[in-house]
Copies of this chain bind each other. A is one copy, B any other.
Amino acid sequence: MKRPPTANRYRDTWAGEPRASRAGEQLRVAGWVHRRRDHGGLIFIDLRDRSGLLQLVFHPETSGEAFAAAERLRAEHVLSAHGLLVVREEGNVNPNLPTGEVELQVADMEVLAQSDTPPFPVDEDGPVDENTRLHHRVLDLRRERMRDNIILRDAITREMRSVLSGADFLEIETPMLTRSTPEGARDFLVPARLQPGNWYALPQSPQLFKQLLMIGGFERYFQIVRCFRDEDLRADRQPEFTQLDIEMSFVEEADVIDLMETLMARVFAVSGFDVAAPPWPRMPYDEAMARYGSDRPDLRFGLEIHDLSDALGQTEFKVFRSVLDSGGVVRAFNVGPRETPRKELDELTEMAQRHGAKGLVWAFVQSGGVWRSPVAKFLADEEMQAISSRLGASEGDLLLAVADRPRVAADALGALRLHLGRPHAHGHAPVWVVDFPMFEWADDEQRWDALHHPFTAPLGDLDDPGSLRSRAYDLVVDGSELGGGSIRIHDTDVQRRVLEILGMGEEESERRFGFLLDALRYGAPPHGGIAFGLDRIAAIMAGADSIRDVIAFPKTASGGDPLTGAPAPVDERQLRELGLRLL
């Protein structure tokens, strides 16, 4: 704590503050009973406030009244205590506690609140059923780990604001009750009582508003802002989440990326997260997919994927041949020397299949470069040699290969790579993924879909959507996407063309995005930006298993809050006022 508390009837000193240098002072502290120990006729209380712990000692002779009251103290009772700070006797010093050299000899005490017996201990970090934790969140938040997480999250957002304000960014609020700006997920809707039949939507992101702010001349905007997506159940996803949202005018990709590296390096530093100084590598999407099987490559370990098409150019092995002939690929990576029993190989094969692959080829390199592999008999020696050489394989190495469509091979091998590499990963590896495709063909809907969003500036020929790249960039750390953004379209005609390619007629474009198209007509500067997922960043910085551990009051996977019971039924009258009826 940066300052002593204001002295009042409850306290004049933080519990975590006193050191031996203050022995002999009369102090008043307040907080919770963290632990109680009775020993040698005395009562010892570890008193906890946000700053830390202080040992209180109650003597039956010297302060009988306080002692009598202390006898009734239980875990989590709240008290204010006053007394003399003394240095502990030699053998009683606790080197694990910042206040471990001193203790407060309590002269008088006021019990401010009692506590029922907590359903789980607050003074230890043992596992507790998550529903119980969420139901009794006030107790869960008192535990050291949750307290530290929330404090870290505050420190992270302070650092973000400090960097951005220092770089002339303005924090500007955008509406929460707004019009749907579809970004692939469902909107949460809010009925408008004053305009029956009409609805607000909660924002999935302030994307269009931040672009309007650029067109409005603010040049550098940010906001730490709540966003909403009404998605189906999935672990570790929250219907409301927080985003660091940023936009800049008169910039190109490098300007945004450079500044964001400065920003995130500061966030990493304040979190004690050890990352090499920027600049960080920038990797084209195609390379990430080919070498790491993912557009979120985890670069903390090797296991790089290689294309074997060259080595197999003349192969007569039917499985490979037919895949290669139909535009597919054969890719593989070298797991390295690894004892892998049959059972595990089966599991790896199943994993590949879960990611869409028809199968997985495994091979152990034996002495003399011979393979032990189900496919060994189908391949020429030179082919096996060429593959081994391509993969830098030597005796004892396990090789894994997938023959399939490029995307499937990437997905399957990418998943296997993570599964096998992550347990041995160390350090942290940020990377910018760039040069994304602008559109992806959506087979089910038989139309182009924007890989980022329809406001991303394209690079290339608009007449050939499949060949377009976008001016987008994602920041990936250790295989997690921390944020993503792009240079935006600032030209009405280009924006119209992109919406057209996405299958929107003029009427639909006008209806949904007319206000953006209209604003673009009045002098829009070149602009671009980025958004970071704050919950995920905080969770990674805190080393938390779940984003729920860095949110004070999160929801369960079904969108419920066990604490307040939200969502809940409402009165018939409220529905009538909204002009609504349950089906």
Q: Which residues of A contact B (CB under 8 A)?
A: 1-3, 5-6, 8-11, 30-33, 48-50, 76-78, 80, 112-116, 118, 136-142, 147, 150-151, 153-154, 157-158, 161, 165-168, 170-180, 186, 188-202, 208-209, 212-213, 215-220, 226, 228, 230, 232-233, 239-240, 242, 250-252, 254-255, 258-259, 490-491, 514-515, 519, 521-526, 551-553, 555, 558-561, 563-570, 574, 576-583
Contacts and interface: CB of A to CB of B under 8 A. Distances in A.
A96 to B, nearest CB: 20
Contact of A190 (B33, B138, B171, B202): B202
Contacts of A161: 158, 161
A470 B490 CA distance: 56
A189 B32 CA distance: 37
A168 B3 contact: yes
B218 A150 contact: yes
Contact of A233 (B140, B194, B580): B194
17 contacts: A10-B250, A50-B168, A147-B217, A150-B170, A154-B171, A158-B161, A173-B226, A176-B176, A177-B555, A179-B561, A179-B568, A180-B568, A189-B574, A190-B190, A194-B558, A198-B569, A199-B568
Contacts of A48: 217
B523 A195 contact: no
B558 A526 contact: no
A213 B577 CA distance: 34
Nearest to A550: B173
Contacts of A189: 190-191, 570, 574, 578
A177 B194 CA distance: 21
Given A32-B217, A176-B176, A197-B569, 11 more contacts: A8-B250, A9-B252, A33-B523, A49-B219, A76-B522, A161-B161, A176-B228, A177-B240, A179-B566, A226-B226, A515-B564
**Which of A6, A141, A491, A522: most chain B Cβ within 10 A?**
A522
B167 A3 contact: yes
Contacts of A113: 490-491, 523-526
Contact of A112 (B116, B198, B526): B526
A563 B515 CA distance: 6
Contact of A523 (B76, B491, B558): B76
Contact of A199 (B50, B139, B166, B569): B569
A227 to B, nearest CB: 10
A14 B196 CA distance: 48
Contacts of A198: 567-569
Contact of A151 (B11, B78, B138, B170): B170
B176 A240 contact: yes
A14 B514 CA distance: 32
A168 to B, nearest CB: 5
Given A174-B552, A194-B559, A216-B142, A566 B200 contact: yes
Contact of A565 (B179, B259, B578): B179
B170 A567 contact: no
Given A570-B199, A581-B583, A115 B522 contact: yes
B173 A252 contact: no
Contacts of A258: 6
A231 to B, nearest CB: 9
Nearest to A580: B580
Nearest to A520: B113
List 9 A-B pairs, minimum CB-CB distance, nearest first.
Answer: A141-B216, A115-B523, A179-B566, A198-B567, A192-B567, A10-B250, A179-B564, A76-B523, A138-B216
Given A216-B137, A217-B50, A233-B194, A179 B567 contact: yes
A178 B562 CA distance: 11
Nearest to A76: B523
Contact of A522 (B138, B150, B524): B138
B137 A559 contact: no
Contacts of A566: 175, 177-179, 200-201
B552 A173 contact: yes
Nearest to A574: B189
B523 A114 contact: yes
